[in-house]
Protein backbone atom coordinates (compact mmCIF):
# COMPACT_ATOMS: atom_id res chain seq x y z
CA UNK A 1 0.00 0.00 0.00
CA UNK A 2 2.88 2.38 0.81
CA UNK A 3 4.35 1.67 -2.62
CA UNK A 4 1.08 2.66 -4.30
CA UNK A 5 0.90 5.90 -2.29
CA UNK A 6 4.59 6.56 -2.97
CA UNK A 7 4.03 6.24 -6.76
CA UNK A 8 0.55 7.73 -6.95
CA UNK A 9 1.31 11.04 -5.22
CA UNK A 10 4.17 12.10 -7.57
CA UNK A 11 2.11 10.98 -10.56
CA UNK A 12 -0.88 13.02 -9.39
CA UNK A 13 1.37 16.00 -8.77
CA UNK A 14 2.97 15.66 -12.20
CA UNK A 15 -0.42 15.53 -13.93
CA UNK A 16 -1.81 18.50 -11.99
CA UNK A 17 1.14 20.87 -12.62
CA UNK A 18 0.05 21.81 -16.18
CA UNK A 19 -3.44 22.63 -14.90
CA UNK A 20 -2.04 24.80 -12.12
CA UNK A 21 0.39 26.61 -14.43
CA UNK A 22 -2.29 27.03 -17.12
CA UNK A 23 -4.65 28.55 -14.59
CA UNK A 24 -2.20 31.45 -14.16
CA UNK A 25 -1.54 31.93 -17.89
CA UNK A 26 -3.26 34.82 -19.69
CA UNK A 27 -6.80 34.31 -20.98
CA UNK A 28 -6.38 36.87 -23.75
CA UNK A 29 -4.07 36.70 -26.73
CA UNK A 30 -3.01 39.42 -29.13
CA UNK A 31 -0.85 39.44 -32.23
CA UNK A 32 0.31 42.60 -34.00
CA UNK A 33 2.71 42.67 -36.95
CA UNK A 34 3.49 45.39 -39.47
CA UNK A 35 5.26 46.03 -42.74
CA UNK A 36 5.78 49.07 -44.93
CA UNK A 37 4.40 49.08 -48.46
CA UNK A 38 5.44 51.61 -51.10
CA UNK A 39 1.84 52.52 -51.99
CA UNK A 40 -1.04 54.64 -50.76
CA UNK A 41 -3.74 53.20 -48.49
CA UNK A 42 -6.17 53.55 -51.41
CA UNK A 43 -3.95 51.29 -53.56
CA UNK A 44 -3.68 48.67 -50.78
CA UNK A 45 -7.32 48.73 -49.71
CA UNK A 46 -8.79 46.69 -52.64
CA UNK A 47 -6.40 43.81 -51.83
CA UNK A 48 -7.71 43.68 -48.26
CA UNK A 49 -11.33 44.79 -48.69
CA UNK A 50 -12.15 42.31 -51.47
CA UNK A 51 -11.87 38.93 -49.79
CA UNK A 52 -11.78 37.12 -53.15
CA UNK A 53 -8.25 38.59 -53.52
CA UNK A 54 -7.04 37.07 -50.24
CA UNK A 55 -6.05 33.72 -51.82
CA UNK A 56 -3.44 35.70 -53.76
CA UNK A 57 -1.58 36.69 -50.60
CA UNK A 58 -2.94 34.85 -47.50
CA UNK A 59 -1.14 31.53 -46.91
CA UNK A 60 -2.18 30.64 -43.34
CA UNK A 61 1.53 30.04 -42.75
CA UNK A 62 1.57 26.86 -44.84
CA UNK A 63 2.97 27.54 -48.29
CA UNK A 64 2.98 23.87 -49.24
CA UNK A 65 -0.60 23.11 -48.16
CA UNK A 66 -3.49 23.69 -50.53
CA UNK A 67 -6.07 25.90 -48.82
CA UNK A 68 -9.52 26.16 -50.32
CA UNK A 69 -11.24 29.55 -50.06
CA UNK A 70 -15.00 30.02 -50.40
CA UNK A 71 -16.94 33.28 -50.24
CA UNK A 72 -20.42 34.46 -49.37
CA UNK A 73 -22.25 37.67 -48.67
CA UNK A 74 -21.04 40.91 -50.19
CA UNK A 75 -18.28 40.94 -52.80
CA UNK A 76 -16.29 43.45 -50.76
CA UNK A 77 -16.55 45.58 -47.66
CA UNK A 78 -18.95 45.15 -44.75
CA UNK A 79 -20.74 41.81 -44.96
CA UNK A 80 -18.13 40.10 -47.14
CA UNK A 81 -17.28 36.64 -45.82
CA UNK A 82 -14.34 34.37 -46.63
CA UNK A 83 -13.85 30.85 -45.34
CA UNK A 84 -10.80 28.64 -45.65
CA UNK A 85 -10.69 24.90 -45.56
CA UNK A 86 -7.44 23.05 -45.18
CA UNK A 87 -5.38 21.06 -42.68
CA UNK A 88 -5.58 23.04 -39.45
CA UNK A 89 -6.88 26.15 -41.15
CA UNK A 90 -10.67 26.17 -41.12
CA UNK A 91 -11.25 29.87 -40.59
CA UNK A 92 -14.15 32.23 -41.23
CA UNK A 93 -13.61 35.98 -41.64
CA UNK A 94 -16.40 38.56 -41.93
CA UNK A 95 -15.64 42.21 -42.60
CA UNK A 96 -17.42 44.41 -40.08
CA UNK A 97 -15.94 47.79 -41.02
CA UNK A 98 -14.00 49.11 -43.99
CA UNK A 99 -12.47 52.47 -44.89
CA UNK A 100 -10.08 52.94 -47.85
CA UNK A 101 -7.89 55.37 -45.92
CA UNK A 102 -7.75 53.33 -42.69
CA UNK A 103 -8.19 49.59 -43.45
CA UNK A 104 -10.63 46.81 -42.61
CA UNK A 105 -11.87 45.26 -39.37
CA UNK A 106 -13.25 41.76 -39.18
CA UNK A 107 -14.67 39.05 -36.98
CA UNK A 108 -12.72 35.82 -37.18
CA UNK A 109 -13.52 32.30 -36.13
CA UNK A 110 -10.96 29.51 -36.22
CA UNK A 111 -12.74 26.17 -35.96
CA UNK A 112 -12.76 24.90 -32.39
CA UNK A 113 -11.87 28.24 -30.78
CA UNK A 114 -13.66 31.29 -29.44
CA UNK A 115 -14.41 34.16 -31.86
CA UNK A 116 -11.66 36.75 -32.35
CA UNK A 117 -11.45 40.30 -33.67
CA UNK A 118 -8.96 41.41 -36.25
CA UNK A 119 -7.96 44.37 -38.36
CA UNK A 120 -5.63 45.22 -41.18
CA UNK A 121 -4.92 48.90 -40.69
CA UNK A 122 -3.18 51.53 -42.82
CA UNK A 123 -1.04 54.43 -41.64
CA UNK A 124 0.38 56.56 -44.47
CA UNK A 125 3.87 57.96 -43.91
CA UNK A 126 5.05 59.94 -46.93
CA UNK A 127 5.38 57.64 -49.94
CA UNK A 128 4.89 54.45 -47.91
CA UNK A 129 2.06 53.04 -45.84
CA UNK A 130 2.58 51.05 -42.69
CA UNK A 131 0.18 48.12 -42.82
CA UNK A 132 -0.55 46.44 -39.49
CA UNK A 133 -2.34 43.13 -38.96
CA UNK A 134 -3.86 43.05 -35.48
CA UNK A 135 -5.68 40.02 -34.13
CA UNK A 136 -6.92 39.37 -30.61
CA UNK A 137 -9.21 37.08 -28.72
CA UNK A 138 -9.60 34.88 -25.69
CA UNK A 139 -8.40 31.35 -25.03
CA UNK A 140 -11.42 30.35 -22.99
CA UNK A 141 -11.46 28.86 -19.53
CA UNK A 142 -9.43 25.71 -20.09
CA UNK A 143 -6.06 26.02 -18.35
CA UNK A 144 -4.61 23.52 -20.83
CA UNK A 145 -5.50 25.78 -23.80
CA UNK A 146 -3.95 28.73 -21.98
CA UNK A 147 -0.67 26.84 -21.64
CA UNK A 148 -0.23 27.17 -25.40
CA UNK A 149 -0.67 30.96 -25.35
CA UNK A 150 2.95 31.83 -26.28
CA UNK A 151 3.14 29.16 -28.99
CA UNK A 152 -0.12 30.30 -30.56
CA UNK A 153 0.86 33.97 -30.55
CA UNK A 154 4.26 33.30 -32.06
CA UNK A 155 2.94 31.01 -34.80
CA UNK A 156 0.21 33.50 -35.71
CA UNK A 157 2.75 36.35 -35.78
CA UNK A 158 4.93 34.41 -38.23
CA UNK A 159 1.93 33.59 -40.46
CA UNK A 160 0.57 37.15 -40.44
CA UNK A 161 4.01 38.63 -41.13
CA UNK A 162 4.37 36.29 -44.11
CA UNK A 163 0.92 37.34 -45.32
CA UNK A 164 1.87 41.03 -45.08
CA UNK A 165 5.07 40.38 -47.01
CA UNK A 166 3.00 38.59 -49.69
CA UNK A 167 0.59 41.55 -49.74
CA UNK A 168 3.52 43.96 -50.09
CA UNK A 169 4.88 42.02 -53.08
CA UNK A 170 1.46 41.97 -54.80
CA UNK A 171 0.67 45.64 -54.20
CA UNK A 172 4.12 46.90 -55.17
CA UNK A 173 4.16 44.72 -58.32
CA UNK A 174 0.77 46.13 -59.37
CA UNK A 175 1.81 49.77 -58.73
CA UNK A 176 2.20 51.93 -61.86
Nearest to 36, CA basis, from 157, 153, 161, 155: 161
CATH topology of domain 2-174: Alpha-D-Glucose-1,6-Bisphosphate; Chain A, domain 4 (3.30.530)
112 phi-psi bin (left φ>0, alpha ψ -120 to 50, beta other):
left
Q: Is 123 helix (H, G, I), strand (E, B) or coil?
A: strand
Q: Where are the domains of the chain?
A: 2-174
Burial class from Cβ neighbours inside 10 Å (0-12, 13-18, 19+) for residue 105 reads: middle
Nearest to 93, CA basis, from 60, 132, 139: 60
Separation CA 48–CA 120 (nearest Å)? 8
pLDDT tens string for the chain (176 positions)? 555 556 666 666 556 666 565 556 667 778 999 999 999 999 999 999 999 999 899 876 555 556 788 999 999 999 999 998 876 668 899 999 999 999 999 999 887 677 899 999 999 999 999 999 999 988 776 766 666 767 777 888 998 999 999 999 999 998 77
Amino acid sequence: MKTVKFCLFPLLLLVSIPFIVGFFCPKEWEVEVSTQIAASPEAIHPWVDELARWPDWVTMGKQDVQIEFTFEGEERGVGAVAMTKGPGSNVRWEITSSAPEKGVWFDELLEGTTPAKGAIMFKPEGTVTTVTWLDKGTLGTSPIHRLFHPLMESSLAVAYQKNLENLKAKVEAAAP
